[in-house]
Structure 1
Amino acid sequence: MRPPIPLIQSATLYNSIPRRRRYQQLSEDTMERLCILVLCVLVPLCRAESPLSPVVTPIDCNATEFEAGVALDLINEDRSNGFVFKPLHVVEVHEQEVQSHLYPASTIYYLTIDVLETTCSVLSGKSWKDCSEASSFHSWVFGQCKAIILLSMARRVQKLLNYNCTTASVPASAILQTCPDCPTPTWEISPKTRKMADKLLGDFNKESNSTRHFRSDHIERETSQWVIGPSYFIKFTIKETECRKTKRNMNQIDCKFLEDEDARVGFCEGSIMTNSRTGEEHKQVTCEVYEPKVDRSPAASFRGSFTYVGKAKVRFHDEGQEESGAAGKAYDEPHPSQNGIKPDHPPKDSSHKDHSGSSEEHGEKKPSVRKPKGLIQNFRLNDSDVLPAPAITISIPPLPTRPEVRSEFIEFPETDSHLPTCPWTKEDKPEILQYLPRKHNQVSADV
């Protein structure tokens, strides 16, 4: 028997074999598997495209008046209470080109805008361009908004992705220095305020020709002042209820609101002044009523809105002419059905037969409550305070795109714009400039 070859000698013999002969010793099956593996790796690489990383770049603030205006219109439309914002300064803007088959040729804008409240309720559906600001300094409410919007010129799309705003009133100490006798804001809305709003609304319900009662919905603001006695000024929203005026011995508090798609809403301003000597009470209220938000457009709300002042009511016609009623006489209030907009639906528990059938009978579902796309945060400032700046810290999921294109989460840029055109002043209000946010003082909100 031949003795075994030592390991070192075996390795020497293997290395002495030419390299070509080594490869020839591989089986055909092994070579076939290797070729298939190489092809599987190379084919996807040949078809793949190298995607570009998204680029977020700062742009000149004085060239973004249109984008800033669109952003505020979208924010105002998204809100369910408060007052319409208008722009003061465009602080900084970034842009990002995006690739999406749903929104071709689209751009995402990241905007920071200083804002001022107008006298228009957001329920009115008006653009900030059609609203005026409060006439006196002590009534101003200012703030700053950060917004992420998408604009697609090819599809004519204007989409609000997220926003966060911080707001504040002029500090009370500043009001006392400039106007000691001016009304000062009430920070805590008490049950007493709600009762005063209901009392004012009672006058409106009594004098208006609406077929249903309205109830107060949200107290927007209250200020107080001493004149010949305590005086209170209240701004609040109202909403239509199921209770018809033909129903007697009715407690207004027990009236349930109509569904959002059926209920008209409104905005009221009223005052209650009490004479400290005689105890006599003086009331005055002004209300505007708007069509249900699902059906409202600027034209529809203009036709359907009216104003009630004390015992006189003012209504605007399509031609824009103003018509007022004499004291003690109110004009007929046009219901949506008279304008061909929406019929007056009976309450669900009514015995009235609706031959057209309800939406539930036809299998239609009531629209779900829409979640706001952002947040408004209110702050109370002292004279030396600065309003905290808003911040958007969440990541928004990528827009729908094709598989071969890499998509990125949408995030508000952390880097500041140092362009000389920023900030850009749309309207100057030097009285409140000292209270507007500084970049280092930010408040985040994950919405």
Structure 2
Amino acid sequence: LNRITNVQAHQQSPAGKVYYLDLDVLETKCHVLSPKSWKKCAIRPFMETQISGNCNITVLHKPEGFSYLYSYDCTLVPDPPEKLRLRCPVCPLLLPVDSNEAIAAARTSLLKYNRQSTLPVSPTVNTITRASNQVTKDDNSSFSLICQTVCSLQCVYLVCLFSFQPVGFCVGEVLGTGHGQQEVKVSCEIFRPQVHVVTPTQQEDKFSKTPTHNVQIPHIHKPSFQDVGAVRPQLADPMYQAIPAGPGSLPASDSTSSSESTESSEEAGGSVRARRQISTSTAPPHSPVFLSIFPSVPSPFCSCPGVSRYTTV
């Protein structure tokens, strides 16, 4: 996140508030599936071809204090190579991730990793997410790439231990052409996906105390936002479900709407308790209304647009 450009807040009482956020974003060196906090991820420097853009985010903030990601739409573009060449003639340029050079460099990097690694893990290439090429003065090519890997059959031990298939991200660099001596550098980070699993029994118990008509299981992109009072502690922000909470972390709630959560909870506190007492009510839950077209009017908040957190070239 570089800065918040625009914020629109639509009151949806008693369903909560819907926030429409226009964000300026920059690429980091962490993969999107990495469990590392985005605050600990370094911004990719200009000489490695920065990728930047904006994201339109729609978030529902419930009166109970929980926030849900409803939708997001991001437009990201890399810096043009002409701009990079003008300021840095010797910097590497991006390669298509499906090019023969990128695929060959990925295989060469993982081959060396599997030969030298002492871990009970033998990664195979799943997806190449970034590749670049640099030609040196002696006509040698240097390929740098980032690829997502998954474990092969030799990872059975880790699969049984974690109950999930381990996933890893490797960064490799191959110096030299395929016809001569090649120098290969590679490093990999392997971890298990941190996914919250709801068993069928838990799923059935969770919705057994709610009205049976028009009940849908919440979806990660368009949840139905039902009021389930008996399992309130289990509610969590899907945006942060994959992020391990630190010792000083706060409950899952959107930082952009934290100033409004206390006010909303106080306003809707009485009505929430009344609905829980009437367990036999057949009234449908209050559903928020989302705009089909993302709002583009100026923000009513004086702090928008915010100050850029990073200086770009």
Alignment TM-score, normalising by the size of structure 1: 0.47
| Alignment of 1:133 onto 2:43 | yes
Q: 1:209 to 1:410 in 2, by over 3 A?
A: same
- The root-mean-square deviation of aligned C-alpha atoms, in Å, is 3.6
- Point out where structure 2 has 5 or more consecutive residues left out of the alignment: 200-217, 228-281
Give the superposition deviation at 1:264.
0.9
The 5 A counterparts of 1:85-104 are 87-100=1-14
1:416 corresponds to: 297
Please state how far the C-alpha of 1:408 moved relative to its aligned partner: 5.3
In structure 1, distance between residues paired with 2:115 and 2:287: 59
Q: Distance in 2 between matches of 1:206 and 1:399?
A: 50
Q: Measured at CA, do residues 187 and 265 of structure 1 come closer, stay the same or move farther in structure 2, by a change above 3 Å?
A: same
Residues 89-113 of structure 1 deviation map (CA, whole Å, 9 limit, x = unaligned)? 211111122235xx6xx32211000
Structure 1 residues 226 and 397, CA gap change in structure 2 (3 angstroms): closer
Q: Give per-residue Cα distances to partners, 1:342-398, cap 9 Å, x unaligned.
A: xxxxxxxxxxxxxxxxx9xxxxxxxxxx9873xxxxxxxxxxxxxxxxxxxxxx687
| 1:415–1:193 distance in 2 versus 1, CA, 3 Å | closer
Aligned AA (1:115): V
Question: Does the C-alpha gap of structure 1 residues 371 and 137 become closer, same or farther in structure 2, counting only changes over 3 Å?
Answer: farther
User: 1:16-27 alignment to 2 at 5 Å?
Assistant: none
Distance 1:245 1:410, change over 3 A: closer
Shift in alpha-carbon separation, 1:234–1:405, aligned structure 2, 3 A: closer
Higher-Rg structure is 1
Q: Map of 1:27-176 to 2, 5 A cutoff?
A: 87-100=1-14, 106-152=16-62, 154=64, 156-176=65-85
Corresponding letter in the other structure for 1:262: F
TM-fit CA distance, 1:211: 2.3
Distance 1:283 1:245 in 2: 28
Aligned-residue offset at 1:226: 0.8
TM-score (norm 2): 0.65
Counterpart of 1:345 in structure 2 is: none
User: Equivalent residue for 1:12?
Assistant: none
Give the direction of change, closer, same or farther, for the CA distance of 1:284–1:409 in structure 2 (3 Å limit). same
* Number of corresponding residues: 236
User: Which residue identity does 1:421 align to in structure 2?
Assistant: S
Corresponding position of 1:219 = 128
Among 232, 236, 242, the residue aligned to 2:153 = 242
Write the distance in 1 (CA, Å) between the matches of 2:295 and 2:196. 39
CA 1:125–1:199 in 2, change beyond 3 Å: closer, same or farther? Answer: same
Closer/same/farther in 2, CA of residues 164 and 214 from structure 1, 3 Å limit = same
Which residue in 2 is equivalent to 1:272? 174
Instruction: Quote the residue 2:192 is aligned against.
Output: 291
5+ residue gaps, structure 1, are 1-86, 247-256, 297-358, 360-369, 374-395, 432-447
- Using the aligned pairs only, state the percent identity: 23
SS of 2:309's equivalent? coil
